[in-house]
Chain A
Amino acid sequence: MKAHGRARKKGRQPVPLAALAPAGAVSAALCLTRFENHVPHVSLLILLLCMIGLAQLMPVDLTRGGIRVVFALPYVAALAVFCGPTAALGGDFFGLIVGAALVLFNLREPEGPRRTAANLCISAISILAGSFLMHAVEAATRRQLLWALGFIIGYGAANIVLVAWMESMLNKRSWLGAELSALGLTGRSIALYTLLGLAVSSLIAERMQWLVPLSIIPVWALRTSLLYQTKLYSNYYGTISALNLMLQRAHPYTHGHLERVAETAEEVARRLGLQPARARLVREAAILHDIGKIAVDEEILDKPAKLTPDELEHVRLHAVWGAEILSPVREFSAIVPWIRHHHERPDGNGYPDRLSNAEIPLESKIIAVVDAFDAMIGSDEPNGKRSYREPMSVKDALAELQRCSGTQFDPEVVRAFRTVVEAEVA
């Protein structure tokens, strides 16, 4: 796996090369000096390098601006087992050079020099981890198949951990979250990938290397499966983006507000002890919580005066409409009730269903607090202020939340929210 990305987006961090470069250099030096290498058979070397080059033609980009999978490990592992870690290092670097050459011919999206350098470092560290494990297995058994297994496990584990770490640094996500999303998408494929690595090594051990080119068929199958999974993933996030875009076109003041609410809501969810995947879902629900406002008359929503009872009733329907809009999408089934109930109150005076405190989902309570706070303080962006109210200071808004704690807002959520805001201010 490699980390890749387009031009850096707002809020993204530079590639953490300062941390990776020394580790990569030391790893490469250890690979070259620490392990015993064998004189490789030229035809085997050429065959495996060709397969590595071929694998570079079939990459899969797993997440937006995140992880790129190239199916070269089975061949790199075979190089490590039959030629030694130096050849494996050379083979992996050769793959990166082929990848860079493909960019020159517009056959692949560019990564940027810092990305390529970071990938070289990750590659060196992964090969060192694989080689150490292979060396340990080698001492215990003479079976080359198990050496290959040792290399694949060591290389694969180090690679997944490092790439997810880099992605978490770049996108300011939690490391565990990035790790889980990478594993979640590729988990089923990892078993088959390991099997493929073993198959390539066993064919070479049986002196049947002429069959190795056929391994491109399982590589193609793996690629097809990952491509579909990635399409499902991007369909999900594409739907969220499109709905968000529709709301922003209908009510421009929501621009910026939804992103701020989503980011803070995820953080509050984490503080309240929700699992990372659940907290991520809270973020997505927070982005979509006002989607029902698409159906609300913008002249009522932007009205500077007090709303009439009829107008208030019309605006309040947005919670029901939001749930109605999202309900056809099965993947939103968990967040539909959170959106329907994000205006419910612990004292039972909320809408649309006047639920009691115990009946209101925690996720709705989180969105309610963060949404109210952001609406109170407004923002400096154009359209960031509500027409009907002057923005409050952070201190006054926190005091207002505290005042309404227990009636309008859940006290525990307000407490968690305060710690998040205070940490941000500090």
Chain B
Amino acid sequence: MGILTVIILTLMTVATFWLLYYSRIILSKQLDERTNESVKAFGTAIELRFPTHKGLSKRVITLSEAVAKQLKLSPQQRRDLELAGRLRDIGLCAIPYRLVNDLPANEWNVADKATYFRHAEVSGTMLEAIPELSRLAPVARFHHTRYDGADDPTSPAGLSLPMQSRILKVVADFVWYERLQGSLIAREILKAGRGSAYCPLAADALLTVLTSSRVDQREHSLV
């Protein structure tokens, strides 16, 4: 074999290994970072529009992660759950500013509630338009859908709902009621809705997380 051929083949082999390392490690990490940055931008936009939602997403994501671990979801499912948790409310941009900012949620009438909960559908439609995130569209679309399908007979129900949607429904409702009425009442609402509004698996997992872990407890000073 000629020396030139040996040089070319050696260079080729080294370049191939380098390219695989560069793509699989460096570019893959970059892609994850960029996706997270974009998702943060969407979240900032919604929190600026509706300051009352500030902090809600963070709590929802922390609890959802704990529930996902409890349910032993795969790393990819957990990653999708985290992204969906951040993106589920981007449809809020279509909800009237004054409904959320000027009117307390406990004063909403049926029409107001219907208007507000349309954001899940809008989120789903918007995510469908983004190729990189379109797989999360069904999760966002059904994240407020009841487990028994009582609120909308045309939408899927029970185990037909994406697992991540069922988790987000349980967790987001809990966080919402926790903020409005306190942790104890929120737990009671969760228990009452088990099997009807909420997926029993997800509800049990959240109750386990809330009771057995210290996910919602502050670390007090020992001094």
Task: Mark A residues whose CB is within 8 Å of B.
Answer: 145, 192, 195-196, 198-199, 202-203, 205-206, 208, 217-218, 221-222, 224-225, 227-229, 231-232, 234-236, 238-239, 241-243, 245-247, 249-250, 291-292, 294-299, 321, 324-326, 328-332
Contact = CB atoms under 8 A, between A and B. Distances in A.
B115 to A, nearest CB: 13
B131 interface: yes
Contact of A325 (B31, B35, B44, B132): B44
A329 B41 contact: yes
Interface in B95-133: 96-98, 101, 122, 126, 129-133
Contact of B16 (A218, A229, A250, A329): A218
A299 B19 CA distance: 53
A411 B26 CA distance: 46
A249 B94 contact: yes
A202 B2 CA distance: 9
A297 B51 CA distance: 12
9 contacts: A192-B12, A192-B19, A195-B11, A232-B30, A235-B34, A236-B34, A294-B45, A295-B48, A328-B44
A242 B9 contact: no
Contacts of B93: 246-247, 249-250, 294
A202 B49 CA distance: 63
B45 A291 contact: yes
A312 to B, nearest CB: 16
A192 B12 CA distance: 7
B9 A199 contact: yes
Interface of B: 1-2, 4-5, 8-9, 11-12, 15-16, 19-20, 22-24, 27-28, 30-31, 33-35, 37-38, 40-42, 44-46, 48-49, 90-91, 93-94, 96-98, 101, 122, 126, 129-133
A292 B48 CA distance: 9
B58 to A, nearest CB: 14
Given A246-B93, A249-B91, A291-B45, A241 B130 contact: yes
A287 B40 CA distance: 19
Given A225-B23, A234-B131, A238-B132, 12 more contacts: A203-B5, A225-B19, A235-B34, A242-B42, A242-B90, A249-B91, A249-B122, A249-B126, A299-B98, A324-B44, A328-B41, A331-B34
Given A229-B27, A231-B132, A235-B35, A299 B41 contact: no
Contacts of B8: 145, 195, 198-199, 202
A298 B100 CA distance: 13
A296 B45 CA distance: 11
B48 A325 contact: yes
Nearest to A145: B4
B52 to A, nearest CB: 13
B126 A206 contact: no
Nearest to A249: B94
